[in-house]
Amino acid sequence: MSYSVTEPSNETKWIAGILVIGYAIITILPLLWIIATGFKSSTDAIAYPPKVLFEPTLEGYVNLFTTRTRVTESDFAALPPPTTWYETIVRDQGLIIAGPSRYGERFLNSVIIGFGSTILCMVLGTAAAYAFSRFRVPLKDDLMFFILSTRMMPPIAVAIPIFLMFRSIGLSDTHLGMILLYTAVNLSLSVWLLKGFIDEIPVEYEEAALIDGYTRFQAFIKVVLPQAAAGIASTAIFCLIFAWNEYAFAVLLTSGNAQTAPPFIPTIIGTSGKDWPAVAAGATIFLMPVMVFTILLRKHLLRGITFGAVRK
Amino acid sequence: MTSSPIEKVASATPETVARRIRGLSDRTIAWIFVGPSILLLLAVNIFPLIWTVRLSFTDFRVNRPNNEVSFVGLENYRRVLTDGDIWQTMQATAHFLIWTIVLQVLIGFALAWLINKKFRGNDLWTTIIVLPMMLSPAVVGNFWTFLYQPQIGLFNYAVTFFTGGDPAGFSMIGDVNLAPWAIVIADTWMWTPFVMLICLAGLRSIPDSIYEAAECDRASKWRQFWTLTVPMVLPFLMLAVLFRGIENFKMFDLVVQLTGGGPGNATELTSINLKREAFERWRTGYASAYAVILFVTVFGLASIYVKALNRVKQR
């Protein structure tokens, strides 16, 4: 092996590795704790000292998806034996199932609003980004800065008029209203990122296509889009994650019908106070897809979180 | 040629449509492409902004829509700027901003510097460290209240495990003196990887040849760090601070779930305070004036900062 002055020595590497891994383990602990708590019984969850080894149970998950109620002892004794595994788990707590909880609905709302706004945002964003990248749009720099500056406003500050506006046109607490809102919020990020990706595609490809008799529109669809596919996909994941995680608008503008999971999960309570295993179960199901996406995205992560300001 | 879904859609476009578009000039296409985005942003961003400014000059209250609305001029602005609670809020926000940025810059830079030593498996560990920042702040913030529970909370247990003392003896979110630190710790846990990633990009942008030259000149490692590494990472670091500054100035979800602004108003940051005025006390006009003042402040500070950043970059 050749000697290099810039290559760190083996000892340096070892020390650096140990320190970074130590930090990684500390930083991942709260997340592991969420996952573990979801599989604990309610007594194990609040045990002292905190239990690392415990008997796993699906109690939290069952409680997450059901509402339960207490019945008198004589009624309880008179019940026929439980027929399903989840009924057994509820009966063991001395309760009976009263019906499904709202978690399923809220999760579905998150899916609908997240995907709806992401798709709309990609359609609008790709078109706008292409125009900004290839054409001489008047006031281009001002428009780009304007799009970016919409991110500086605290969401609460615009929530008042949006609340009034949605109420007057019947969009409050609807999926469509939230999809439009999240699309607008994400548009700045997606136009900014996509312009960067499209800028990197050599303009010669389109010129060749135009000479071959393609129209501008065909060239955009057949030449530019396939080449920008990776960029579009990673931008889409960023928009999806943002819409998925958004809380401020969701808590202020939705209540019954279109409420997403983030405002709902903290409100999960059991029959006696906060049901932490159920909260943790709800959080685990909700956070898991984002963890997977993050791992898929890791190459483009930096670009996404910095609005394309840092590319590599 | 492979047929991707996109190509299928394209070839399914009827001839007539294609022919009509053929006639369009680039200029028209540009407007068709940009138009919808601009319209949506005008409707959902700019129109509400103008509405906020208009409301800020009135005594309108959302919960009393039938009251007559009167124009009160700059009265709302005067009241916001002379309100004692707002200055308490600003202090809480300043404490939060300064400490999160200081901690995240120090830890983030240190981590990036260590990761850049390219030990084996550094990619995997980097990805693990990055995870918290991608998650829903509201959901994670809510769970941190569990970690911060006296006695049963993992955080209290870990702290007393190393320092001794009683895990039930302190409550991070119930104590007026500790709560501001509770939100700093949770935010630092969540967002340090952001600063780390940007610093890492900065470190990786420095060509090896510069260090080789420094080595030839017999510059010490210490000297190389301060005269090469730090100045070259500085623009990246400043960018990270800008992003964190803007984000934490409008911080809402994580903190509202963690402490709800309490105890008392010890952690009532500007966004939480604004939410109370607008959606709990329903002082719409007052809250609008407050929102305008916040926006102008962020915008002004960010503009000055970007100028400074560009000057550093040019050096």
Mutate to test the interface with B, among A7, A169, A217, A259 (most CBs of B within 10 A): A217
- What percent of chain B has pLDDT above 70? 92
Residue A67 tokens read as 């509402």
Q: Chain A within 8 Å of B39 (Cβ-Cβ)?
A: no
* Interchain pair B291, A154: CB under 8 A: yes
Q: How many helices (H) and strands (E) does chain A have?
A: 16, 2
* Interchain pair B249, A221: CB under 8 A: no
Mutate to test the interface with A, among B34, B192, B243, B292 (most CBs of A within 10 A): B34
Which residue of A lies nearest to B291 if distances are taken between CA atoms? A157
CB A48 within 8 A of CB B152: yes
**Amino acid B147: pLDDT:** 92
CB B146 within 8 A of CB A37: yes
pLDDT mean over B47-60:
87
**Amino acid A144: pLDDT:** 62
Q: Please tell me the distance from the alpha carbon of residue B167 to that of residue A177, in angstroms, as a whole number.
A: 46
* Interchain pair B246, A14: CB under 8 A: no
* Interchain pair B135, A6: CB under 8 A: no
Eight-state DSSP code of residue B6? H
**Amino acid B207: pLDDT:** 86
Residues of chain A with Cβ-Cβ distance to B289 below 8 Å are none
**Amino acid identity, position A70:** R
**Amino acid A311: pLDDT:** 64
Looking at every residue in chain A, the average pLDDT score rounds to 85
* Interchain pair A312, B205: CB under 8 A: yes
Confidence class for position B9, pLDDT limits 50, 70, 90? very low
* Interchain pair A128, B37: CB under 8 A: yes
Eight-state DSSP code of residue A98? E
pLDDT mean over B198-218:
87
Residues of chain B with Cβ-Cβ distance to A217 below 8 Å are 18, 21, 24, 29
Residue B10 tokens read as 């394209």
Q: Please tell me the distance from the alpha carbon of residue B27 to that of residue B34, in angstroms, as a whole number.
A: 11
**Amino acid identity, position B122:** N
Q: Please tell me the distance from the alpha carbon of residue B249 to that of residue B94, in angstroms, as a whole number.
A: 9
B93 pLDDT above the threshold of 50: yes
Residue A190 tokens read as 């997606």
**Amino acid A47: pLDDT:** 82
Query: A124 in the Ramachandran plot: left (φ > 0), alpha (ψ -120 to 50) or beta?
Result: alpha
CA angle B151, B153, B156 (to 5 degrees): 75
Short-list A292, A304, A271, CA closest to A188: A304
**Amino acid B19: pLDDT:** 47
Mean pLDDT: which of A162-176, A214-228, B89-103 is highest? B89-103
**Amino acid B99: pLDDT:** 96
A2 pLDDT above the threshold of 50: no
* Interchain pair A49, B130: CB under 8 A: no
pLDDT mean over A15-24:
93
Q: What is the per-residue DSSP string for A32-45? A: HHHHHHHTS-HHHH
Angle between helix B137-147 and helix B179-204 axes, rounded to 10 deg:
130
Angle between helix A175-199 and helix A155-168 axes, rounded to 10 deg:
130
Confidence class for position A146, pLDDT limits 50, 70, 90? low
* Interchain pair A261, B294: CB under 8 A: no
Confidence class for position B60, pLDDT limits 50, 70, 90? confident
Q: Please tell me the distance from the alpha carbon of residue B231 to that of residue B217, in angstroms, as a whole number.
A: 18
Residues of chain B with Cβ-Cβ distance to A305 below 8 Å are 133, 194, 197, 243
* Interchain pair B6, A225: CB under 8 A: yes
Q: Chain A within 8 Å of B203 (Cβ-Cβ)?
A: no
- Verify cis geometry, omega within 30 degrees of 0, for the bond prior to A49: yes
**Amino acid A148: pLDDT:** 64
**Amino acid A27: pLDDT:** 93
Short-list A112, A80, A114, CA closest to A96: A80
Q: Chain B within 8 Å of A255 (Cβ-Cβ)?
A: no
Residues of chain A with Cβ-Cβ distance to B13 below 8 Å are 221
* Interchain pair B298, A152: CB under 8 A: yes
A150 pLDDT above the threshold of 80: no
Looking at every residue in chain B, the average pLDDT score rounds to 85
Q: Chain B within 8 Å of A299 (Cβ-Cβ)?
A: no
Give the contacts of A301 (CB within 8 A, at least 6 positions apart): A294, B130, B197
Confidence class for position B27, pLDDT limits 50, 70, 90? confident
* Interchain pair A226, B6: CB under 8 A: yes
CA angle B136, A277, B184 (to 5 degrees): 40
B17 pLDDT above the threshold of 60: no
Query: To the nearest whole angstrom, how far is the Cα of A16 from the nearest Cα of chain B?
Result: 5
Q: What is the pLDDT of residues A186-196, one digit of tens each?
A: 888 888 888 88
Query: To the nearest whole angstrom, how far is the Cα of A66 from the nearest Cα of chain B?
Result: 20
Give the contacts of B35 (CB within 8 A, at least 6 positions apart): none
Q: What is the pLDDT of residues B162-183, one digit of tens each?
A: 888 887 888 888 889 999 999 9
**Amino acid A143: pLDDT:** 66
Which residue of B lies nearest to A14 if distances are taken between CA atoms? B119
- Residue matched to tokens 């995680």: A245
Residues of chain B with Cβ-Cβ distance to A14 below 8 Å are 119
Short-list B188, B254, B102, CA closest to A23: B188
Q: What is the pLDDT of residues B133-158, one digit of tens each?
A: 889 999 999 999 999 988 888 998 88
* Interchain pair A31, B131: CB under 8 A: yes
* Interchain pair A221, B10: CB under 8 A: yes
Which residue of B lies nearest to A122 if distances are taken between CA atoms? B37
- What percent of chain A has pLDDT above 90? 28
Which residue of B lies nearest to A276 if distances are taken between CA atoms? B146
* Minimum-distance CB partner of B154 among A33, A153, A222: A33
Q: Please tell me the distance from the alpha carbon of residue A74 to that of residue A96, in angstroms, as a whole number.
A: 13
B21 pLDDT above the threshold of 60: no
Residues of chain B with Cβ-Cβ distance to A291 below 8 Å are 131, 134-135
CB B89 within 8 A of CB B269: yes
B229 pLDDT above the threshold of 60: yes
pLDDT mean over A143-165:
77
Q: What is the pLDDT of residues A118-136, one digit of tens each?
A: 999 999 999 999 988 888 7
Q: Chain A within 8 Å of B217 (Cβ-Cβ)?
A: no
Which residue of A lies nearest to B188 if distances are taken between CA atoms? A27
Contacts 24+ apart (CB under 8 A), B27-35: B27/A135, B29/A131, B29/A135, B29/A216, B29/A217, B30/A131, B30/A135, B30/A136, B30/A137, B31/A131, B32/A127, B33/A127, B33/A128, B33/A130, B33/A131, B34/A127, B34/A128, B34/A131, B34/A132, B34/A137, B34/A143
Mean pLDDT: which of A295-304, B180-189, B247-256 is highest? B180-189
Query: To the nearest whole angstrom, how far is the Cα of A88 from the nearest Cα of chain B?
Result: 28
Q: What is the pLDDT of residues A55-104, one digit of tens each?
A: 888 888 988 898 888 888 888 888 888 888 888 888 888 888 888 888 99
